[in-house]
Structure 1
Amino acid sequence: MIKKHGLYIDGQWRAASDGQTKDVYNPATEEVIATIAAATQEDLDAALAAARQAFKAWRKTSPWERSKKLRAVAERIRARAEDIGMTMTLETGKPLAEAVAETNAAADQFEWYSEETKRIYGQTIEGRTPDVRMSVVYQPVGVVAAFSAWNFPALLPARKMAAAMAAGCSIIIKPAGEAPGSCFALAEACHDEGIPAGVVNVVSGASSLIAPYLVKSPIVRKVSLTGSVSVGKQILHMAADGVKKVTMELGGHGPVIVFADGDAAAAGKACATTKFRNCGQVCISPSRFFVHESRYDTFCAAFSETAKGLKIGPGVEEGVQVGPMANRRGLETAREMIDDAVARGAEILSGGKTPDGLEKGFFIEPTVLGRVSDDAKIMNEEPFAPVAPITTFTDYDDVIARANALPFGLAGYVFTQSLRLAHMASDDLEVGMVGVNEMLLATAEAPFGGVKESGMGREGGALGIHDYLEPKYVKMKL
């Protein structure tokens, strides 16, 4: 389904300079579905040169003109949502309905930033004397190097591309090798809507070559990454040598607190539905469930019943709600976490096995674990998998301390009918985003990002464009 297999550099699709390629697999069948170009240093130099040249003109393009083009890209993506969604499903395994919805969410990013580009407001500062004028203007930071993850292969690149382009920057983006087709499709939409050559460039291949080469290049002035904490730390070290502006959206381990006054049955259903979305491979996924002891049985019953009712299978099949995991290493990690939790006293409330008839592909049943010990591996390391660990609490201060005990701080969730508890917990959770009786946080108009080792900077919303701008202060004496 990938229509463009090559590199997109300076407005043209091309093969790698040495002809090397990389295979893309369908995680539902384990079969090769495409080969993509593997960029060389020569290709990266071409992308850097193209982005540098294009930036000179794009930064001076009228915000109204940039706005028109970005909005047109959004509409082009929406018109192709079914095709892009099918590509995404074949590459990631996620249900087709989810893939199409993600594609439309990617279009929302372009629409949102088509509006924000016209609202890059400066500031006027009153001088101390009548003959002094002081002002602050915002200017695009320059060439951007962006790196995206495979779990949301259209939305994650769109957040970076749309914000960078709206700010007046050019961008070189590397999609994840497991699922590059959606990012190629975004570039194709940009091309078809007349985004000037070199403003958007897409390179694929070996991360071990591409990431250091782009980040260390003096041409690149801004780096944006969605990925793991370990990779983020490596990129930060490299960016520090060049004192480059950085946005990091890294891993999480989202705590969920269900207080005694919360609707435990409704919470259990909502948590299960959200936890197993995209087979649990979501950075803001609710992934540690702290339930008041008095509500534990009700919550677990609703959670397990919902999990058991989810239809598992290849994402292309009608009605499937849970597809395969994206790769074998993730599947193996999920099994290790289940075994470790059980060895430490947890009970399997549902799932935990390979689904019947789905021995081929990276499938595992949505798994619910009860009475999980705080020292279990799954309570301390991000479970990027359809495995949900549930434990209990009785004291407010204790559960907040346990929720904040990890170095992660991306998202947290609270279920309560008390306005007082809702505000207290929202204030006390050390995260960048909080959902109160609500699980779906990501939307184009809101800032997305975390604190502590979950990252820095924000993507989306009115704040997102500022990570691609630099303020310049001007003082003038008349």
Structure 2
Amino acid sequence: MEYPDLSLFVGGAWRKTANSLPVVNPSNEVEIGRVPVASTADLDDALNAAEAGFRVWSKVSPRERSDVMLRAARLMRERIDEIAYSITLEHGKPFRQGQLEVIRGAEFFEWDAGEAQRLYGRVIPGVEGIRHSVLRQPIGQVAAFSPWNFPMSQPARKIAGALASGCSVILKAAEETPGGAYHIARAFKDAGLPDGVLNLVFGVPADISGHLIPDERIRLVAFTGSTVVGRHLTTMASEYMTPVLMELGGHAPVIVCGDVDPAVVAPICAERKYRNAGQVCTSPTRFYVDEGLFDRFTDGFVSKARSTVVGDGFSDGVQMGPVANDRRLAAMATLVEDAVSQGAELLAGGARIGNAGYFFEPTVLANVPDSARVMTEEPFGPIAVLNPIKSLDDGIMQANRLPYGLAAYGFTHSAANAHEMAERVETGNLSINTLEASLPETPFGGVKWSGYGREGGEEGLHHYTVVKNVSHKMSIE
């Protein structure tokens, strides 16, 4: 297996560009490929192709759209090892986790392929002789932007929603991890997707968003990434009254109630915290633990953190790979230093591993004051914060303290506690006794500063459609 020879995908054809950027393996800092940088002319071609592709695809029946999506998903499953190999090379995550990401990406396409056939309107009763019909029609050309932390499943989520709804899409995938999106485009080309329906570009993010979003042919902006960038893109889109779908940052709290067994819960929490090196928007980070359990929970969590095997994703037994780049290493070190300087206890990790590759130790901070930066800034890395709470009310207050609300978690055997969390925790996604934040069949998105709109579930296609009311009087009098 080899890393792919990356190209843009515009109008159903692969194309090279005059300029390119390096793709670096974060496990050893070695260049593994070059990602092409789209020019203004390339972007204009993509806009023209998407417009032409939409005219074709929007008239294709939902069943036929579904069939194409399912063929592409089957190809991705058949190519699982090849795609996972690319993901591990460019991202660093363990190869098995790369395989699981390919499966998850295929599941997004499979779910939305089914939903494409259930995108119903309705008829509203009216006075005699008049019928009111509500239609859901594809919104048009979509500009989609996906992040680097999940090279395949994040692009899949946006492409799936757009194609299932009958839209065309221009995807700007992450330059750090372009291989996953490349393999998606390749699978759809081989599955017979009409030219121009899916277009893939790379380049300088500000240049691409600044060119695509103001264009009147773009009818929706779909973005996953940081809150800062998401708010900027939303402001830009608002100048042109272009709708947005924003899945932004979080700082996920975990409330551990006093009725659970810390010996069971702590290792589960630690294992999920260090998945993808903590580089997950839903990563559990702020652990608020009942004070009666705190010491035992902390012991179990720290033990699991210290035993987590960190290394190259192709090595046997590795559980956590590197962070994305040297900037993330510096950010982790700064957050740890700041917390410790304000009185936090550093119980595990806290430093870079070695001097080759971007490896950072699984880190545990305890009794961290709210004034520490890590309590308000999403670390997006392998740092966990453990603080005791006196009551469930205390935990909910702490969970709601920040302006983010993407994911939250709770552990309890009490139906009353679960009900309280479901009613009062301010979040788009609450998981109780599990750390799985979303599935293809469930709606996913945030509240407050964590975004707008939903992906997945039956709600996931709504943002890719417009609602049209048709009032039809049966006769002219």
TM-score by length of 2: 0.98
Q: Aligned-pair distance for 1:136?
A: 0.2
Q: What residue is the counterpart of 1:98 in the other structure?
A: 97
Contiguous gaps of at least 5 residues in structure 1: none
- Find the residue that maps to 1:216 and give its secondary structure: coil
Q: Deviations over 1:230-263 (max 9, x none)?
A: 0001100111011112100000000011111122
Q: Deviations over 1:40-92 (max 9, x none)?
A: 11000000000001101100001111011011111011011111111011111
Q: What residue is the counterpart of 2:453 in the other structure?
A: 457
Contiguous gaps of at least 5 residues in structure 2: none
Amino acid at match of 1:286: P
Q: Hey, what's the Cα distance between the residues in 1 that align with 2:423 and 2:318?
A: 38
Amino acid at match of 2:210: P
Q: What residue is the counterpart of 1:15 in the other structure?
A: 16
List, as ranges, runs of 4+ consecutive aligned residues in structure 1 with deviation greater than 6 Å: none
Moved more, 459-468 or 394-403: 394-403
Q: Deviations over 1:107-154 (max 9, x none)?
A: 001111111111011101001x22111110100000000000000110
Q: Hey, what's the Cα distance between the residues in 2 that align with 1:307 and 1:101?
A: 22
Amino acid at match of 1:239: A
Q: Aligned-pair distance for 1:395?
A: 2.9
Q: What residue is the counterpart of 2:303 in the other structure?
A: 305
Alignment counterpart, residue 236 of structure 2, candidates 215, 235, 238: 238
Q: What residue is the counterpart of 2:441 in the other structure?
A: 445
Q: What residue is the counterpart of 2:204 in the other structure?
A: 206
- Find the residue that maps to 1:166 and give its secondary structure: helix
- Find the residue that maps to 2:340 and give its secondary structure: helix
Contact 2:329 2:352 survives alignment (8 Å): no
Q: Deviations over 1:348-380 (max 9, x none)?
A: 11122333xx42011111011111111111111
Q: Aligned-pair distance for 1:396?
A: 2.9
- 1:375 matches 2:389: no
Moved more, 371-380 or 160-169: 371-380
Q: What residue is the counterpart of 1:217 in the other structure?
A: 215
Alignment counterpart, residue 403 of structure 2, candidates 403, 407, 424: 407
- 1:208–1:107 CA distance, 2 compared to 1 (3 A): same
Amino acid at match of 1:77: M
Q: Aligned-pair distance for 1:216?
A: 1.0
Q: Deviations over 1:188-207 (max 9, x none)?
A: 00000000000000000111
Q: What residue is the counterpart of 2:68 in the other structure?
A: 69
Alignment counterpart, residue 257 of structure 1, candidates 251, 255, 258: 255
Amino acid at match of 2:147: A
- 1:109 matches 2:105: no
- 1:435 matches 2:436: no
Q: Hey, what's the Cα distance between the residues in 2 that align with 1:354 and 1:383?
A: 15
Amino acid at match of 1:299: F
TM-score by length of 1: 0.98
Matches within 5 A, 1:11-50: 11-16=12-17, 19-50=18-49
- Number of paired residues? 473
Matches within 5 A, 1:352-363: 352-355=350-353, 358-363=354-359
Contact 1:263 1:416 survives alignment (8 Å): no
Q: What residue is the counterpart of 1:143 in the other structure?
A: 141
Alignment counterpart, residue 196 of structure 1, candidates 194, 197, 201: 194
Q: Hey, what's the Cα distance between the residues in 1 that align with 2:4 and 2:364?
A: 39
Q: Deviations over 1:282-308 (max 9, x none)?
A: 000001011111110111011111111
- Find the residue that maps to 2:404 and give its secondary structure: coil
- 1:86 matches 2:85: yes
Q: Aligned-pair distance for 1:453?
A: 0.4
Alignment counterpart, residue 341 of structure 1, candidates 339, 342, 366: 339
- Find the residue that maps to 1:382 and give its secondary structure: coil
Q: Hey, what's the Cα distance between the residues in 1 that align with 2:161 and 2:395?
A: 37
Q: Among the aligned pairs, what percent are the same residue? A: 44
Q: Hey, what's the Cα distance between the residues in 2 that align with 1:289 and 1:374?
A: 13
Q: What residue is the counterpart of 1:282 in the other structure?
A: 280
Q: Deviations over 1:130-189 (max 9, x none)?
A: 211111010000000000000011001000001100000000001111001110100000
Q: What residue is the counterpart of 2:121 in the other structure?
A: 122
Q: Hey, what's the Cα distance between the residues in 1 that align with 2:35 and 2:340?
A: 41
Q: What residue is the counterpart of 2:268 in the other structure?
A: 270
Contact 2:254 2:287 survives alignment (8 Å): yes
